[in-house]
Amino acid sequence: MTMPDGDVTGLNADPPVADRRREARFQGGLYVRVWGIDTRGERFSQETVATNISNGGALLSLEDEPRCGDLVGIAHEGKHSRFRVVWARNSGDARKVQVAVPKLQGDECPWKSALF
């Protein structure tokens, strides 16, 4: 049904906001191993699930909190790469921190074969 103002839905909603990301994202999860240095300066290594995954990065849920700007290593199915922490925030779970990590330029994506 078309409304008098031309709105087909009957709602004057704003147009959808375009996603600013350059790459498609896989919303499912992949098991990965993450290692690095936490905010206390101690080494950590843990298994977790990476989500919101692309060839260039992912979102992690970690028990240990690395600092913004730090490098972490991530491995998936025998392949590993270096990533930089661009932000970390409380996930709502007292034991977990969400961490966004883009891959360092020149490193191979460890989960490339799982994406496409």
25: which residues sit within 8 A by CB, 6+ positions away? 52, 53, 54
- Supply the pLDDT for residue 36: 97
Share of the chain above pLDDT 70, in %: 76
- Supply the pLDDT for residue 107: 96
User: What is the pTM assigned to this prediction?
Assistant: 0.76
Domain boundaries, the chain: 30-111
Cα–Cα distance measured from residue 9 to residue 93, given in angstroms and rounded to the nearest whole number:
39
When pLDDT is averaged across residues 44-53 and rounded to a whole number, the result is 94
- Supply the pLDDT for residue 53: 92
**For the purposes of burial, counting CB atoms within 10 Å of the CB of 54, is it exposed (0-12), middle (13-18) or buried (19 or more)?**
middle
When pLDDT is averaged across residues 68-84 and rounded to a whole number, the result is 96
pLDDT confidence bin for 96, thresholds 50/70/90: confident
Q: Where are the alpha helices (DSSP H) in 1-116?
A: 112-115
Cα angle 99-103-107, degrees, rounded to a multiple of 5? 150
Which of residues 112 and 92 earns the better pLDDT score? 112
CATH code for the part of the protein at 30-111 = 2.40.10.220
Q: Report the range out of 25-34, 53-62, 88-97 with the highest average pLDDT.
A: 53-62
Cα–Cα distance measured from residue 6 to residue 56, given in angstroms and rounded to the nearest whole number:
41
